[in-house]
Amino acid sequence: MALTSRRKKATAPQVDLEALPGYCIRRLQQIAVAIFLQEAETVGITPVQYAVLQQIANSPGIDQRTLARTAALDTSTLAGVVDRLEARGLVMRNASPDDRRVRLLTLTDAGLALLESAVPRMLRAQERILEPLRKRERAEFMRLVRVLITANNELSRAPSEAV
């Protein structure tokens, strides 16, 4: 039978998703978010909202562009996050006196209070995420993840940048 006459029955490539780093990382992210939301349920914030509140607390009066970099968020994504935090009265958005394009962010008293009550719950969530690993494995996992992040930092539109 000549090759050309053989009906090319396209055989679907069989791939096990569990073996793919990208798939496993997505699963891990889903789980980490679920744990955070469980722990922070009474506070009512998401992981990203926590990160934004925390960075504003770390650097009061920060502008949105810098905040986006330090929280690893796209500026357009950050705009939405800050919108929601502002609507809940947790964050103030004030125009900069020096540059009218810039909007400076500060926590309100309510935002600070919420952040303070969120921190222990956030820490508990972090512990739970790594709990299945032995102590030494946890450190090794974090080391490996940080290598991956640092080396590939520039690849996403929101490259992280230390403050």
Partner DNA sequence: TGCTGATTGTCAGCATACTGATAATCAGCA
Partner DNA sequence: TGCTGATTATCAGTATGCTGACAATCAGCA
Interaction site with DNA (CB under 7 A): 26, 29-30, 33-34, 46-49, 63-65, 68, 73-77, 79-84, 93, 98-103, 156-158
Q: In 3D, which of 141, 139, 161 has the Cα closest to residue 150?
A: 161
Among 41, 79, 93, 145, indicate the residue that binds its own copies (CB under 8 A): 145
* DSSP line for 83-133: HHHHHTTSEEEEE-SS-TT-EEEEE-HHHHHHHHHHHHHHHHHHHHHHTTS
Nearest to DNA of 65, 146 (CB atom): 65
Which of DNA, its own copies, none has residue 14 at its interface (CB below 5 to 8 Å by kind)? its own copies
Q: Does residue 146 belong to the site contacting its own copies (CB under 8 A)?
A: yes
Residues whose CB falls within 8 Å of the CB of residue 24, separated by 6 or more in sequence, listed in order: 18
Q: Does residue 12 belong to the site contacting its own copies (CB under 8 A)?
A: yes
